[in-house]
Amino acid sequence: MKGICEGRVVIVTGAGRGLGRAHALAFAAEGAKVVVNDLGVSLDGAGGSDDPARAVADEITAAGGTAIAHAGDIATSAGAASLVAAAVDAFGRLDTLVNNAGFLRDRMLVNLDEDDWDAVVRVHLKGHFLPLRHAAAHWRAETKAGRPQTARVVNTSSGAGLLGSVGQGNYAAAKAGIVALTLVAAAETARYGVQVNAIAPAARTRMTERTFATTMAAPEHGGFDAMAPANVSPLVVWLGSADCAGVTGRVFEAEAGRITVMEGWRPGPTADRGTRWTPQEAGGAVRELLVRAAEPGPVYGTR
């Protein structure tokens, strides 16, 4: 029986460990040819090695799949361009891009220096933009050449980007930016046969091991490891397949066996005076509106 990604060529960034590795293995199991990208840095972005990417590519190959490794820095234009070129050169096409790479430098805002801000925003937000930009340019060229595309992009946001997270101002801002980038990309690239969605996953990885220190496997769940990265991958594979036709510009939360469609900013209660408010009148109107408005979700770390 063929998998739902049979014959598709898939790039996964940050695929040397954690969620990215799980995604790469899951795509390969569904018949995809996988480009495994990982810079091989430490948790805070230091160093670098091609060993993690090669290890996952070798794991896929040993299991009978097809994969190549790419250890370029996708937060540079040259690295992102070489990543797309690697897929096309090796397999003749590109069908799916999964943006997943990232690291953490957590600090409270008053202790967060400019380098920590720039490094995290660079790898998460710029590291999403550049591969997406080069992949979209490829799909646009293919479409204009008369070769219709069934292309997919899956971006990786976070609950921190949707609700905020104490001690993670840099990470939360970058992940919120990824949601906005997803919405814009879905609208702009639809004409080229591209669908763009995002996930906000919760799983045990290097970045979350202190938060999810235990497996959360319980006898009543048959020993199910609720925080295993592989729990998130089935949704990512489906979003990266042709089967998800018509689903674009959406954000999904994925954790354990749960999938949630996240609903973003929408107009709530409103007041229109028909002319300019005084400051006191504006304040009174706001207080009346807030009584009728839904309470925002709590920022992570506040309770």
User: Across the beta sheet with 258-262, what order do the strands follow?
Assistant: 66-70, 33-37, 9-12, 96-98, 151-156, 194-202, 251-255, 258-262
Render 167-216 in DSSP notation, one character per residue: TBHHHHHHHHHHHHHHHHHHHHHGGGTEEEEEEEEE--STTTTTTS-S--
Please identify which of the residues 33, 126, 157, 158 carries the catalytic annotation.
158
Average predicted confidence (pLDDT) for the chain: 92
Render 5-51 in DSSP notation, one character per residue: TTT-EEEETTTTSHHHHHHHHHHHHTT-EEEEE-----TTS----SH
pLDDT at 214: 40
pLDDT at 12: 98
Please identify which of the residues 171, 192, 233, 300 carries the catalytic annotation.
171
Q: What is the CA radius of gyration of the chain?
A: 21
pLDDT at 189: 98
Alpha carbons 132 and 139: distance in angstroms, whole number: 10
Alpha carbons 234 and 272: distance in angstroms, whole number: 46
pLDDT at 204: 82
Q: How far is CA 80 from the centre of its chain?
A: 16
pLDDT single digits (tens) 228-276: 999 999 999 999 999 999 999 999 999 999 999 999 999 999 999 999 9
> What domains appear along the chain, each with residue ranges and CATH number?
9-262 (3.40.50.720)
Alpha carbons 168 and 212: distance in angstroms, whole number: 17
Element (H, E) at 127: helix 127-144
pLDDT single digits (tens) 213-239: 444 444 445 678 998 999 999 999 999
| 165 secondary structure, DSSP code | B
Task: Give residue 205's pLDDT band: very low, low, confident or very high (50, 70, 90).
Answer: low
Q: Is 171 a catalytic residue?
A: yes
pLDDT single digits (tens) 191-201: 999 999 999 99
Quick check: 60 pLDDT over 70? yes
pLDDT single digits (tens) 25-52: 999 999 999 999 999 866 655 656 789 9
For residues 26 and 102, the answer to whether their CB atoms sit within 8 Å is no
pLDDT single digits (tens) 78-98: 999 999 999 999 999 999 999
pLDDT at 48: 63
pLDDT single digits (tens) 167-176: 999 999 999 9
Please identify which of the residues 33, 126, 157, 175 carries the catalytic annotation.
175
For residues 122 and 105, the answer to whether their CB atoms sit within 8 Å is no
Residue 15, judged by CB atoms within 10 A of its CB (0-12, 13-18, 19+), counts as buried
Both tokens of residue 108? 């409270």
Task: Give residue 212's pLDDT band: very low, low, confident or very high (50, 70, 90).
Answer: very low
Quick check: 103 pLDDT over 50? yes
pLDDT at 45: 53
Alpha carbons 163 and 142: distance in angstroms, whole number: 38
Q: Is 2 a catalytic residue?
A: no
Q: Is 175 a catalytic residue?
A: yes
Unique residue bearing structure tokens 């006898």: 219
Task: Give residue 303's pLDDT band: very low, low, confident or very high (50, 70, 90).
Answer: confident
Task: Give residue 150's pLDDT band: very low, low, confident or very high (50, 70, 90).
Answer: very high
Backbone angles phi, psi at 141, to 5 degrees: -60, -40
Unique residue bearing structure tokens 């925080």: 227
Quick check: 74 pLDDT over 50? yes
pLDDT at 257: 94
